Structure 1
């Protein structure tokens, strides 16, 4: 039944075009976690594609840094405009954004979270969260790393932020996957704060402390790329299996150079596309119920498939659509 409703939601805009139904003139805002990040730029490409197909206006406004204070101000500005029908947002903090988004909902604005989420288990504020299953992604990274090192050896968990929902789920998934291999030890856990230079320094320190380190997991782009730099600086290229997360151009270069062994790529384009589609369908009354979470998939990139045509659609984009 749900599949039928979704199909109906996708087809109705086309029917409206053919028979001359009026354009509803909706305005949907997309608020990324960081406006300049290729992950969110790729999300915008997907959202813009859906917006153009549906005939709605897409408003793009986000912070230049991972900053919940700046993001809160953006939400308040969107509420004050009085013409925004829906907000798609990647909250920078699961608690700090609850009240601003509650005010948006009370103002009649549809709220959908994308990528990250707020603490709203009963969905009283947002309709749904569209994101990767980050626990599964972390688990996939752990399994991939474990198999690559033959199920034994010392590994490091190179984390980024503490308390961010996406990161915490990846940590948990990775640890649970590694726990299935008695021959593997997590000998070091570091947090870079998404600082690439700090991640590089941390990776070098871990390699000095554990010269026999078999592998590492870099939980996001700044961390994974920083770890790749640290491995190269330490003269360990090709000697440490590094599994990264995401598929930004910097990481793709690291795969080509043999610094990153594997990447677990997300689907931000799909998150943006579905966010606009779901908001439109809800506003039009086509759909009234949503799952609490709607998950998108993963794709593992390696040196063997990095140049394949199938892989290219998973690589994140760096320029906004014109």
Structure 2
């Protein structure tokens, strides 16, 4: 009887000992599991929160900028918001910037706006230690940290040189620009004018506004051809201008003898180049702009010094340069 009791005591002791051991062992494992899970969660949290504010949200050109920015954000573990006016509207644009600042984001990437209030907002952001990177359109008089985008004066100059090289004899040239008050559009017009200024055979007969819509470009082209039926060449300074011009020229002329140089490579622009209605287009790299803007913003948040002007690529392409896809215009920045 005593033997059985002792055996039961020993067995009970061993069971308790085993239970304690297993509790300690799996408790430690559980503790490490939660530690590792917490560490993984922290690692997956975005490092920064940036806001990209375009001229207008539903725009093919700005969607390419957005795609570049989103790819860079994904690669660098950044949370990126794409906010702004549905259609170009300076007041809505400025309100969006103000909201981003109030939200204490880590950086604002925005098209520059030619308004005193824009400069005030950029200064306000700087005081709150929120860097501002301008993209596509610069605002050099403001406190923006960096500009990422096309050298707009140079791109206009390239367009003017292309017209000189591609034409002979007297040319009566009409310009259709997105918005008269937009700084980047002004620079594209001025660069073009300076490129042809020394050539007496080139006469600029009109500068009309499209309000960066295809319908606006169509209406402007109609007006120009009614007032100046002897127009021999067109230059469109925003992405939809060349498309609107080509639509009108194609309908009104039995033979497309008017030279058209446009901006950007939207699919419709490329179709008009293939068929010969548009002779050439100035190519920007919107994907590259978006990608580099995010990378420069990360550098600013890390306290790194950056050159304030970060110009992306620009070139003129012709029918012989095709095929080319808007999706391929990434400037070599995809990871």
Q: TM-score with structure 2 length normalisation?
A: 0.79
Q: Match for residue 53 of structure 1?
A: 75
Q: Match for residue 11 of structure 1?
A: none
Consecutive unaligned residues of structure 1, counting only runs of 5 or more, are: 1-19, 316-322
Q: Match for residue 262 of structure 2?
A: 244
Taking a change above 3 Å as real, the CA distance of residues 24 and 65 of structure 1, as seen in their structure-2 partners, is closer
Q: 1:181-192 counterparts in 2 under 5 A?
A: 181-192=199-210
SS in 1 for 2:116: coil
| 2:192 pairs with 1:170 | no
| 2:323 pairs with 1:307 | yes
Q: Which has the larger radius of gyration?
A: 2
SS in 2 for 1:213: coil
CA contact (8 A) 2:46 2:79 kept: no
Measure, in 2, the Cα distance between the counterparts of 1:268 and 1:60.
15
| 2:273 pairs with 1:273 | no
Aligned residues: 290
Taking a change above 3 Å as real, the CA distance of residues 81 and 211 of structure 1, as seen in their structure-2 partners, is closer
Consecutive unaligned residues of structure 2, counting only runs of 5 or more, are: 1-41, 331-335
Q: 1:1-322 counterparts in 2 under 5 A?
A: 25-82=47-104, 84-120=105-141, 125-150=143-168, 152-235=170-253, 237-285=255-303, 287-288=304-305, 290-308=306-324, 313-314=328-329
SS in 1 for 2:221: helix
Measure, in 2, the Cα distance between the counterparts of 1:22 and 1:282.
22
Taking a change above 3 Å as real, the CA distance of residues 44 and 195 of structure 1, as seen in their structure-2 partners, is closer
Q: Match for residue 4 of structure 1?
A: none
Report the structure, 1 or 2, having the larger helix content: 2
CA contact (8 A) 2:61 2:239 kept: no
Once the two structures are superposed, residues 246-295 of structure 1 have per-residue CA deviations (whole angstroms, 9 ceiling, x without a partner) of 2222212222232211110111111111111111112123x22x223211
Taking a change above 3 Å as real, the CA distance of residues 174 and 47 of structure 1, as seen in their structure-2 partners, is same
Taking a change above 3 Å as real, the CA distance of residues 23 and 257 of structure 1, as seen in their structure-2 partners, is same
Taking a change above 3 Å as real, the CA distance of residues 107 and 47 of structure 1, as seen in their structure-2 partners, is same
Shift of 1:142: 0.8
Taking a change above 3 Å as real, the CA distance of residues 129 and 307 of structure 1, as seen in their structure-2 partners, is same
Measure, in 2, the Cα distance between the counterparts of 1:159 and 1:195.
10
Measure, in 2, the Cα distance between the counterparts of 1:98 and 1:129.
14
Q: Match for residue 7 of structure 1?
A: none
Q: TM-score with structure 1 length normalisation?
A: 0.82
Q: CA RMSD in A?
A: 2.4
- Higher-RCO chain (CA-CA 8 Å, sequence separation at least 6): 1
Measure, in 2, the Cα distance between the counterparts of 1:24 and 1:31.
19
Measure, in 2, the Cα distance between the counterparts of 1:218 and 1:199.
9
